Amino acid sequence: MKARIIRLRSSKPKEKRKGGMMPDAGSKLMNRQMTKLILANKYADAPTALAMEKIDRGLFVPEELKGSAYEDRPLPIGYGQTISAPGIVALMCSKLDVREGMRVLEV
């Protein structure tokens, strides 16, 4: 079974910096703590956790849920859909044997 990689573009404007979107300092710290828990719980190896640390989960949740963005639980994102818990995403990426340069869309 081959996986297809699909790139989604947000309609929201975003700040850019070299290498991606720019989270604020508090979000960056919370995202780092979230990835430390992923490692501590052995959901993923260090390279997977590092990749997850580079992408701020808070960018993918509605504004009213930003305070819960870094908890290891699914969150509603609208239209009856949820964003998966970070631990589950880490575990799936780990099982997929994702390597540098690959892109993953969890559906």
d(CA 40, CA 83): 22
Q: DSSP for 32-44?
A: HHHHHHHHHTTSS
Residue type, 103: R
Q: CA neighbours within 13 Å on the CB side: how many for 42?
A: 0
Task: Name the residues annotated as catalytic.
Answer: 84
